Amino acid sequence: MKASRLLMPTLREAPAEADIISHILMLRAGLIRKLAAGVYSYLPLGIKVLKNIENIIREEMDKAGAQELLMSALLPAESYQKSGRWDRFGDDMFRLQDRNKRDFCLGPTHEEIFTETVIDSVHSYRDYPFTLYQIQTKYRDERRPRFGVMRTREFLMKDAYSFDISKEGLDDSYKAMYQAYKNIFDRMGLNYMIVDADSGAMGGSGSQEFMVISDVGEDTIAYCEKCRYSANTEKAVCLSGNKSTEEMLPLRKVSTPNAKTIEEVASFFGKHEDSFVKTMIYKAGDKHVAVCVRGDREINEVKLSNLLGGDEVSLADPDDVVRITNAKVGFAGPFGIGIDVICDNEVMNMRNFIVGANETDCHLENVNPERDFTPSIVSDIRLISAGDICPVCGGEIKTAQGIEVGHIFKLGTKYSESLGLNYVDENGKENPVIMGCYGIGINRCIAAIIEQHSDENGIIWPAEAAPYKAVVVPVNVKDEVQMNLALEIYDSLEKAGIQVIIDDRDERPGVKFKDWDLIGIPVRITVGKKAGEGIVEYKLRSEKEYSEIGSKEAIQKAEAYIL
Q: Which residues form the interface with ligand ATP (CB under 6 A)? A: 109, 140, 142, 151-152, 155, 157, 404-407, 439, 441, 443-444
Report yes or no: 38 and 154 within 8 Å, Cβ to Cβ: yes
Of 408, 411, 429, give the one whose Cα is nearest residue 115: 411
Q: Where would I find the beta strands (DSSP E) of 451-531? A: 454-455, 458-459, 470-474, 500-502, 523-527
Report yes or no: 110 and 134 within 8 Å, Cβ to Cβ: yes
Residue nearest to ligand ATP (CB): 441
Q: Work out how close the CB of 251 gets to ligand ATP at its nearest, in angstroms, rounded to a whole number.
A: 44
332 or 446, CB closer to ligand ATP? 446
Pairing mode, if any, of strands 219-224 and 230-232? Answer: antiparallel
Give CA torsion, residues 198, 203, 208, 210, to 10 deg: -80
158 or 294, CB closer to ligand ATP? 158
Q: Who contacts 390 (Cβ-Cβ below 8 Å, separation ≥6)?
A: 224, 226, 227, 229, 396, 397
313 or 378, CB closer to ligand ATP? 313
191 or 244, CB closer to ligand ATP? 191
Q: Work out how close the CB of 425 gets to ligand ATP at its nearest, in angstroms, rounded to a whole number.
A: 31
Q: Work out how close the CB of 337 gets to ligand ATP at its nearest, in angstroms, rounded to a whole number.
A: 34
155 or 513, CB closer to ligand ATP? 155
Taking CB atoms within 8 Å and a gap of at least 24, the contacts of 7-16 are: 7/43, 7/44, 8/43, 8/44, 8/45, 8/515, 8/519, 9/43, 10/515, 10/518, 10/519
Q: Work out how close the CB of 152 gets to ligand ATP at its nearest, in angstroms, rounded to a whole number.
A: 4
How far apart, in Å, are the Cα atoms of 308 and each of 25, 150, 201, 304? 44, 32, 8, 6
Question: Can you give the C-alpha Rg of the chain in angstroms?
Answer: 29
3 or 450, CB closer to ligand ATP? 450
Q: Work out how close the CB of 439 gets to ligand ATP at its nearest, in angstroms, rounded to a whole number.
A: 3
6 or 157, CB closer to ligand ATP? 157
Q: Work out how close the CB of 304 gets to ligand ATP at its nearest, in angstroms, rounded to a whole number.
A: 18
Q: Is 538 helix (H, G, I), strand (E, B) or coil?
A: strand
Q: Work out how close the CB of 138 gets to ligand ATP at its nearest, in angstroms, rounded to a whole number.
A: 7
Q: Work out how close the CB of 86 gets to ligand ATP at its nearest, in angstroms, rounded to a whole number.
A: 17
Q: Who contacts 259 (Cβ-Cβ below 8 Å, separation ≥6)?
A: 265, 267, 268, 361, 363
109 or 499, CB closer to ligand ATP? 109
155 or 185, CB closer to ligand ATP? 155
d(CA 186, CA 57): 11
Q: Work out how close the CB of 88 gets to ligand ATP at its nearest, in angstroms, rounded to a whole number.
A: 13
DSSP 203-256: S-SEEEEEEEE-TT-SEEEEEETTT--EEETTT------PPP-PPPPPPEEEE-
141 or 553, CB closer to ligand ATP? 141
Q: Work out how close the CB of 220 gets to ligand ATP at its nearest, in angstroms, rounded to a whole number.
A: 12
